[in-house]
Structure 1
Amino acid sequence: MGETPAAAPTTAATMQAFPEPGTSALDPAKAKTLQDVVDKVVASPDSPSGSRGATAAVVTDRWIWSGAAGTDIRGTALRPETSMAAADITKTFDAAEVMLLVKAGKVDLDKPISTYLQHKLTANNATVRQHLSMTSGVPDFGNDDYRELDKAVTAAPGRHWTREQTLSYHTAKVGAPGSDSGYSNASYELLGLLIEKVTGQPLAGVFRRDLAAPAGLRHAAFQDGEKPEPPAAVDNNESCGEPDGYLPCRAFASALAAGHGLAADAPTVARWGYQLYGGRVLPAELVSEMTKCDGHYGLGTELFADALGIGTSYGHYGDNPDHTSLLVVVPAKKVSVALMIADSRRDVGKMMQELTKALQPLLN
C-alpha cells in the first residue's frame, strides 16, 4: 500500500441513496480549476506528489468532469478515457458481489468461509465478514512468496493463472480468526473463489452481469476474463516482457485477479464509486454495512477522515507497477472522485487533496 489520506476512527455511515448521476459537462471555466491540478501533477513528474501522467474524473448528482495530462511510461499521451490498472479498487467489486449474495440468501457474512469453500487457508474457520475486513488471521503472501510468484510469471508472462494456483504459493503462517491480518490479498483471492463456487460462474462474468452492467460501466475490464479496450496506458514491468494487451500482462493480471484484476479509466472508476457508495447498486443498508469498521478498513472499503477537507469519505486505493489510483466518495456532497497516475509509489493522497480542494467550491 502507498500513502493515502488519514484513516477515520470507528465509522458507520448512514446511507441514503444518491439520485441519478449527472450527465451535463462541467462549465469549461469551472473545469479549468480541476484541469490545472492535473497539469500541476505532471509539471513536477519526479516529486513525491508528481507523476509523468495523470487522469482524473468527478461524478456528481448534477454534472460530470474528466481530464488528463502527460504520458504513460512509453511516452504515449494520456486521455481521460485511457485505461490503467486499477488494482486494489477491484476489492470493492468483490465486497459488493458478496453483499449481493448475502441479499439473495446464498451467503451468510458471519458463517465461516469454509462453509462454502474448502481450502488450507480456510481451516481456521474465519468468517466471510472477517475475510472482507482483513481480520481473518490469514496474512498476505510473504516476501518470499511474491518473489517465487514473480519468477513464475517471468517464465511465462502470457500464462493464465487460476486462483488455486496462486494460493498454492502462500506460505505465511495463519493466525486465529478475528485477529488483524494486515492488508491481505490472500483473503481476497479466497473471496474470489467463494464467489465462483456459489455462483458457478467465472468471476469476470459475475462482475459484468451483477455490477458493471447495472452500474453502466462501459470501459471496465475484469482481467484476464476480459481484456482492456484501447486506449490503455502501457506498463513497463520487466517480468512481463513486451506488452500483451493486459495490464501489466496476462500472468500478473490473472494471478491476483480477484483483488487486483480491474483495468478501467478514471470516468468509469468515478462512476462506479458513485453508483456503489451512493446505494444504487446495493440497497443502502448493505452499503452502510460495508462502511462499518473498527479502524480504517470496512468490508472491501477504506475509510478516510476529513484529511481531504471535503468531509468524511471512503473508497479504495490501488497500486500496480507503473499505475496508482485512488477512488474517493463523499456521501454528504454526493460526489465521487477518481485519480489515476502512470507511476507507482507516489503520494496519490496528496494529489487527491489538491484535487478535492479545487473541487469543493464547485459543489456549493
Structure 2
Amino acid sequence: MGRCRPSRGRRVRRAGVPAGVALLLAALCAGTGPAAVREDFDPATVQKLDAAITDIMKQTGMPGLDIGLWMPGRGVYEKSFGIADKRTGTPMKSDLYSRIGSVTKTFTVTGVLQLVDQGKVGLDDPISRYVSGVPGGNSITLRQLAQMRSGLFDYTTDKAWLAGLRADPHRTYTPRRLVDVAFRHPPNFRPGAKWQYSNTNTVLLGMLVEKVSGQSLADYLREHVFAPLKLDDTSLPGDGALPDPHAHGYTDFTPEGTVADATNWNPSWAWAAGGIVSDLDDLHSWAPALADGRLLTRTTQAERLRTLPVGAIPGASYGLGILDFNGWLGHNGELPGYETIAAQLPAEKATLVVLINSDIDHRGKNLSSMIGNAVTSIVTPGHLWPAPVSTEAEAE
C-alpha cells in the first residue's frame, strides 16, 4: 500500500548519543552540525529508538534516513542516520529534499476537496463530467476515485508499460498517456464493490483539478495548499531535477534488478499520484494539517475521514486520499529511490515522519514500514504502524 513505485511483478538537529549505542551509531548515524536542539524523550526511550533504527539499517543495508517523532508531553526525536550519497559519503541531514511518492495523494485529494468546499464539484459527481474517455465513467464518482474503490485498472501494473519505464526512466509522460494505458484494460470490478489501490484514480483527480481550476496541478497546489501552510520546500516539479540539497535515492527497479541511482529519474509517470518533492520540516507541518483538516470545512473533513477497511492489513482503513493505520492518519509513499511516511496520531497529538533514500525491499519487506512498525512498537504500542508483509513469494 502507498506505492507509487511501479509493481515489481528542516533543519539539522542532533543531540548526544546514549553510551550503549555510541559505537554502533558511529558507523551508521551522521552528525548534522554543531547546533543542537533538545531531545527530550527520556534516555531509555531514545536508546531503544536508536538501537531499533540502527539494527534495521544493518539488516537491510539501507543507505540513510531522516526521522522525526514529535509527541507533546513526551518529547522530540529527530535524527538523521547514514549517508545521502554513496559516491561521496555525504551524510544524511534533515534539511535535504526527498521524493515523497504516494504521500502526494494526500495533497492532490486535498485540492479536490477544496473544490468541493467551493461548490465547483461534488463528491458524488461522475468523473465523466470532467474527464472524457473513462470506461464506465458515468458510474464512477469522485468519492470512489479518492477512496480507491473505482475498479479502474492501475496503469503501473501494465507489463508492457513497466518494461518501457524500466528501459528508460527519464522519459516524460503526460497524464492522458498514463490513463490511456489503464483504459486499455477492462475495469477490475464494479465501482464501489471493494477497495483496490490504483494510481489511475489519483491521476484522474489531478486532471479534474486542472480542468475545474484552470491551473496546472503544480500551480494549484502551490497556491492553495502549500502556500497557506508555508510549505516553502514542497513542490510538484515538471521534470526529473531535484532541488539542492537533496538525498540521492537508490533502487533496484532496473531491467536486470541491479542497484541504480534514481535521483534524477523523471517522476512524471507518477504526477498527481506520487510526484511531489518535500522535506522533513514541511512534512512535520503537513501531517497534522492533513489530519485536522485546517484547509477544509468541517463537513468535508468529516467526509474525508469516513474510512472503510482495506481488508488486506489488520487495523488499516482508507478514506478520501488518507490512510488510517491503527489511529495514525496520513499516508506512506514509495517510488524508485525513496520511501516516506507522514502521519499524525490525533489520540496523542503525535506526528511521525520518515524519509528513506532507498526503496529496495529487505526479503520482500518494505523499508519504511519496518521503521514505522519498530518506532511505534516502542512509543505507541497501542497504535502500531502495521508490520510489513513479505512479498518475496509473489516476487519469485
Asked whether the two chains share a fold, i.e. TM above 0.5, the reply is: yes
1:337 aligns with 2:352: yes
Residue of structure 2 equivalent to 1:14: none
Higher mean C-alpha deviation, range 314-323 or range 72-81: 72-81
The correspondence of residues 202-221 of structure 1 with structure 2, limited to 5 A, is 202-221=216-235
Cα 1:122/1:199, change in 2 over 3 Å? farther
Identity of aligned residues (%): 26
38 and 138 in structure 1: CA distance in 2 versus 1, 3 angstrom threshold: farther
Whether the aligned pair in 1 keeps the contact of 2:249 and 2:358 (CA below 8 Å) is no
Candidates 231, 241, 257, aligned match of 2:245: 231
Q: 2:67 aligns with which of 56, 66, 77?
A: 56
Is the counterpart of residue 184 in structure 1 residue 204 in structure 2? no
Q: Is the 1:326–1:348 Cα contact (8 Å) retained in structure 2?
A: yes
| Residue 167, structure 1, aligned to residue 188, structure 2 | no
Q: Cα gap change, 1:30/1:60 in structure 2, threshold over 3 Å: closer, same or farther?
A: closer
Matched, 1:194 2:194: no
Return closer, same or farther for 1:284/1:81 CA change in 2, 3 Å cut-off: farther
Distance 1:285 1:26 in 2: 38
Task: Give deviations 1:118-137, integer Å, cap 9, x for gaps.
Answer: 12345352000000001112
**In the TM superposition, what is the alpha-carbon distance from 1:350 to its structure 2 partner?**
3.7
Cα displacement (A) at 1:321: 1.8
Q: Distance in 1 between matches of 2:375 and 2:145?
A: 32
Amino acid at match of 2:201: S
Residues 76, 35 of structure 1: alpha-carbon distance in 2 compared, 3 angstrom cutoff = farther
Judge conservation of contact 1:130–1:136 (CA < 8 Å) in 2: yes
Give the alignment of 1:222-261 within 5 angstroms.
Answer: 222-224=236-238, 227-237=241-251, 247-250=263-266, 253-261=267-275
Partner of 1:298: 319
Aligned to 1:22: none
Deviations 1:60-115 (A, max 9, x none): 67886532110136243110112222100000011111110000000100111111
The yes-or-no answer on 1:30 pairing with 2:50 is no
Distance 1:64 1:138, change over 3 A: same
Partner amino acid for 1:249? W
1:148 maps to a residue whose letter is W
Mapped to 2, the partners of 1:51 and 1:242 lie a distance apart of 14
Amino acid at match of 1:166: L
Deviations 1:282-309 (CA, angstroms, capped at 9, x unpaired): 233322211112211111011112xxxx
Q: State the 1:161 CA deviation.
A: 2.0
Gap regions ≥5 residues in structure 1: 4-24, 306-311
Moved more, 270-279 or 217-226: 217-226
Trace 1:54-93 onto structure 2 (pairs within 5 A): 54-59=65-70, 66-72=78-84, 74=86, 75-93=89-107
Cα distance change of structure 1 residues 142 and 273 upon mapping to structure 2, 3 Å threshold: closer
Rounded to whole Å, the distance in 2 between the matches of 1:181 and 1:134 is 6
Does the 8 Å contact 2:241/2:264 carry over to 1?
Answer: no
Q: 1:47 aligns with which of 56, 59, 70?
A: 59
Q: Is the partner of 1:137 in helix, strand or coil?
A: coil
- TM-score, normalisation: structure 1: 0.79
Residue 142 (structure 1) shift: 6.0
> What is the distance in 2 between the residues matched to 1:198 and 1:225?
24
**Equivalent pair of 2:242/2:264 in contact (CA under 8 Å):** no
Which has the larger displacement, 214-223 or 50-59?
Answer: 50-59
Q: Distance in 2 between matches of 1:304 and 1:105?
A: 31
Partner of 1:271: 285
**Which aligned runs of 4 or more in structure 1 are off by greater than 6 angstroms?**
61-64, 240-243
For 2:263 and 2:218, locate their aligned partners in 1 and report how far apart those are by CA, in whole Å.
15
When the two chains are superposed, the root-mean-square deviation of aligned CA atoms in Å is 3.1
1 CA distance for matches of 2:100 and 2:155? 20
SS at match of 2:115: helix
| 226 and 151 in structure 1: CA distance in 2 versus 1, 3 angstrom threshold | closer
Aligned residues: 327
Verify the 8 A CA contact 1:38 1:56 in the aligned structure 2: no
Three-state SS of the structure 1 residue aligned to 2:90 is: coil
Task: State the distance in 2 between where 1:227 and 1:172 align.
Answer: 32
CA change 1:270–1:360 in 2 (3 A) is same
Please report how far the alpha carbon of residue 56 of structure 1 lies from its aligned counterpart in structure 2 after TM superposition: 1.2
Alpha-carbon contact 2:218-2:237 (below 8 Å) kept: yes
Distance in 2 (alpha carbons) for counterparts of 1:113 and 1:100: 16
| Residues 85 and 69 of structure 1: CA distance in aligned 2, closer, same or farther (over 3 Å) | same
The answer to whether the 8 A contact 1:34-1:355 is kept is no
**Residue in 2 that maps onto 1:13:** none
- Does the C-alpha gap of structure 1 residues 66 and 285 become closer, same or farther in structure 2, counting only changes over 3 Å? farther
Q: How far apart in 1 are the matches of 2:51 and 2:218?
A: 34
